[in-house]
């Protein structure tokens, strides 16, 4: 059987990062994308890895740029691929802790909106299945870490 050619097979995959920022409640930090890909979609804050930058530093920078929230990046939650018309991202989503839990999100950079939401609000915001799965996995990881203390 011949392998099926992918419609975006000529694209070079781009390494990107995402922050699963969890606050008390529990709540998770989301942004509404202001630019392609997925403009208008609610998702986790993140973006492209820069040359010479560590993944942890990129997560912290991207969350700060898009939301104004300072975080400490932690464990890898999942690696997600987005392959859509004209884009191929390989996204490393990491669990993050806000440095100052009193900071209020403020959309900036390519985010149109930024806010904390409760997990039961994810479906009403029409997040992708991948975002929902990563958030739930991040919550489970955080709970397991708290139980180990």
Q: Does 72 have pLDDT greater than 70?
A: yes
Of 82 and 147, the structure prediction assigns the larger pLDDT to 82
Query: Mean pLDDT across the chain, nearest whole number?
Result: 92
Number of domains in the chain: 1
Residue ranges making up the domain that contains 71: 14-148
pLDDT at 2 over 80: no
Structural domain includes residue 49: yes
Does residue 3 carry a pLDDT above 80?
no
- CATH no. for residue 126? 3.90.79.10
Neighbours of 51 (CB within 10 A): 4
- CA dihedral defined by 110, 40, 81, 59, rounded to 10 degrees? 30
Q: Does any domain span residue 97?
A: yes
Token pair listed for 73: 């990046």
- How far is Cα 36 from Cα 93, in angstroms, rounded to an integer? 19
- Residue 140 lies inside a defined structural domain of this protein: yes
In-domain check, residue 3: no
CA 30 – CA 20 distance, rounded (Å): 9
Q: How high is the pLDDT of residue 36? A: 80
Classify residue 142: in a domain, yes or no.
yes
How many other C-beta atoms lie within 10 A of the C-beta of residue 82? 17
């Amino acid at each position: 059987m011949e392998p099926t050619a992918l419609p975006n097979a000529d694209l070079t995959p781009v390494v990107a990062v995402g922050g699963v920022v969890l606050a008390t409640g529990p709540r998770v930090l989301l942004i509404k994308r202001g630019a392609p890909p997925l403009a208008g979609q609610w998702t986790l804050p993140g973006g492209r890895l820069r040359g010479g930058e560590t993944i942890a530093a990129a997560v912290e920078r991207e969350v700060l740029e898009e939301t104004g929230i300072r975080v400490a990046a932690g464990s890898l939650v999942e690696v997600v691929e987005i392959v859509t018309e004209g884009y191929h991202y390989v996204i490393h989503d990491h669990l993050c802790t806000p440095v100052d839990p009193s900071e209020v999100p403020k959309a900036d950079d390519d985010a149109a909106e930024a806010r904390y939401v409760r997990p039961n609000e994810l479906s009403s915001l029409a997040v992708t299945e991948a975002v929902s799965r990563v958030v739930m996995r991040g919550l489970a990881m955080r709970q397991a870490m708290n139980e180990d203390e």
